[in-house]
Each structure stands twice: as C-alpha cells, then as structure tokens.
Amino acid sequence: MRNAKIAGMGFFVPENIVTNDDLAQMMETNDAWIQERTGIQERRWVIPGEDTTSGMGVKAAKMAIENANIDTQDIDFIIFATLSPDYYFPGPGVQVQEALGLDTIGALDVRNQCSGFVYALSVADQFIKTGMYNNILVIGSELHSGGLEKTTRGRGVSVIFGDGAGAAVVTPSDYSSGILSTHLHSEGAHAKELALIGPATNRWVDEIIKDGDPDDLSYYPHMNGNYVFKHAVTRFPQVIMEALTQNGYKPEDIDLLVPHQANLRIAQFIQRTMKLKDDQVYNNIMRYGNTTAASIPIALSEALQEGKVKKGDLVCLAAFGSGFTWASALIRW
C-alpha cells in the first residue's frame, strides 16, 4: 500500500484585526483578562459581507495548490472541515468544486469542529493509501465572528474565536516519508458542553421565534469553559502519546508539535506535561484566536513559511474540541 504526504499548504486570514481593546468597547472585558486566560492578543474578524467560509477556504486552497506545485485541474477530491458553513445545507465542499472550476469531482464535508482538520486529513490519508484518489484538497475554514454574542453575556465565548482558513494538498508519497498514522476519538456524552444547539432539527427557527425567550441562548455557541479545559489537557497528551507509541517514538523525538490553537494555556499545559522544549511546539493563537478547524492548517502553513519544519522532521498534529472529539496525526515530513 502506498503512503500519503502533505505536498503543499496554504492559508488565508481576513485583513480586519480585532484587538482585545476593540472587544472592550463592545463588552465588559479587558486585555489583561483575555491575555492571562487565553494568551490571545488579537484575532481576525471578517467585515460583514466581505467574505464567507467557503470563500476563505478557496483562497487558502489556491495557495496550497500553488505551494504543492500542481495544476488546479489535478485535484481529484475535496474534503472540507468546518462548523460554520455558509449554508445549513449543502456543505461548502461543493462551493469549492464550483469556485475552482473542477469538473464534477467528489466533495465531502466533515463536521468535527476543532478536530475537523485532523479528521479530514485522516480521510484523505485513507483515500490516497487505497489508490482511490491522487491529489486531495483538504480545507479547514471558519467564519465565527458573525455568530458570536458580542455582549458581556457572551464574553466567555466571543473573545476566544477568530475567522480564517487553511488548506493542504495530500498526494502519494514514498514509504520513507508522509503521514505515519492518524488517531481519531469521540465522546458524545459531553456534546452539549461546547455546542451550538439551534437552529437545527432539535430546535427549529420557528420554535425559537415563537418562544421569543430573551434568555434562550440556543442560537449562540455555548461553552462550559472550565469543563472543556479539564478534558482538553487530558486528551491532548493521550492522543499525542498514542501516535508516538504506535510508531515507536518518544516525546523528545518530536521536531514540531502543532496543537489545535484552542487556548495558549492549554498548549503550555501540554508542553509542560510532555516535557517538550519551546522550539518543539508551535503557537500562533496570540494573533488569530481560536479558528477551530482552520487553526492547525494556518499554524502549520506559518511554521513552514518560517522554516520551522524541514524535510525529514517528525511533525505531530493534535486537536481537541466540541463533541468532544480529539485526534492526532504523526507525519515524517
């Protein structure tokens, strides 16, 4: 069976920078609180109407295709991970197929929130390994800003999330390099601890409007912050160790860990627990906030641009988020 590798990466973030001081104009919060609890200094929020989840995904995809040095027409499958699609249905994969002018190729949408990119990468890995496809476009893109409650009531959630997109082109590789393994997990018992409950088939728009309850927050993302934090700091090291152990490696063998950018405190906790050095972990949440499915491909793209990943390096991607879902991928670059 052949191996799969990431042949090119790209990303896009909106130009509009929203600082913590900007947020303090909208709600009772402050730069010190946000930085102390999350490490975030600023995030990018789309100016309403200027971009979309699929549009940002297309921009990231074009950069990844160029970086992979292939022709757009060589793409033979699309996998799009997001929790913030342009439409309730269809998912944004088909919009990418149309925007890139790709002739009726398959497009799959992945709904795994912060773990979405690693789940999508794992699907691509399987399709490449079996020989079904040769140049798979994997996108993670999110437009959070339009759906956040930007008031003091919503501050525990709204200060954390940012907009952006990242993409990878996954192609066949030789046996000495590429994706070594992927590991996917879920625990639905915690589904409501980090969720957007409605509008959905569980709670239709009509019902929300009919009830007119000012305390009904079902249409805003809900997060039990402390609860999420505790599970995240347990699951991240577990799933990273699972990948290392399966491949006969130890934490000191990792050249670069790119964790999902959930919260800088979570990343620092993982680093301490696993006794990793500063140059073994890449973080950019300070500049972009938490961009859920887009965070890993944005961070990996920047790490590559900064020369922090070289051929032959052992790279670990790891994610945890709503579901709960968590996942890792170990890659010999």
Residues carrying an active site annotation: 114, 260, 290
Provide the minimum distance between the beta carbon of 323 and ligand COA in the complex, in angstroms, as a whole number.
Answer: 10
As measured in angstroms, the least distance from the Cβ of 135 to ligand COA is 30
What are the tokens at 227? 């609860």
- In the bound complex, what is the minimum distance in angstroms from residue 121's beta carbon to ligand COA? 17
Residue 303: its H or E element: helix 295-305
162 vs 178 by CB, closer to ligand COA: 162
Q: In the bound complex, what is the minimum distance in angstroms from residue 25's beta carbon to ligand COA?
A: 13
Measured in whole angstroms, the distance separating CA 130 from the mean position of its chain's CA atoms is 25
**Alpha helix segments (H runs only) across 214-294:** 225-246, 264-273, 285-288
Q: SS3 for 16?
A: coil
Task: Decide whether 65 or 262 has the Cβ nearer to ligand COA.
Answer: 262
Residue 263, classed as helix, strand or coil, is coil
CB of residue 36 to ligand COA, shortest distance in Å: 9
Interface with ligand COA (CB under 6 A): 29, 33-34, 37-38, 114, 155-156, 159, 223, 225-226, 228-229, 232, 262-263, 266, 290, 320-321
- Angle of helix 264-273 relative to helix 31-38, nearest 10 degrees, comes to 30
With CB atoms as reference, the residue minimizing the distance to ligand COA is 225
CB closer to ligand COA, 114 vs 167:
114
Between 8 and 221, name the residue whose CB sits nearer to ligand COA. 221
Per the CB < 8 A criterion, the answer to whether 333 and 315 are in contact is yes
The CA distance from 264 to 273, in Å, is 14
Q: Which residue has the tokens 């699972």?
A: 242
Amino acid identity at 333: W
| Minimum distance from residue 227 beta carbon to ligand COA (Å) | 8
What is the SS3 assignment for 332?
A: strand
Rounded distance between C-alpha atoms, residue 107 and residue 266, angstroms: 33
The answer to whether residues 255 and 277 touch, using CB atoms and an 8 Å cutoff, is no
When the beta carbons of 33 and 219 are compared against ligand COA, the nearer one is 33
Measured CA to CA in angstroms, residue 120 lies from 46, 80, 108, 206, 293 at distances of: 24, 7, 9, 33, 10
- Whose Cβ is closer to ligand COA: residue 147's or residue 156's? 156
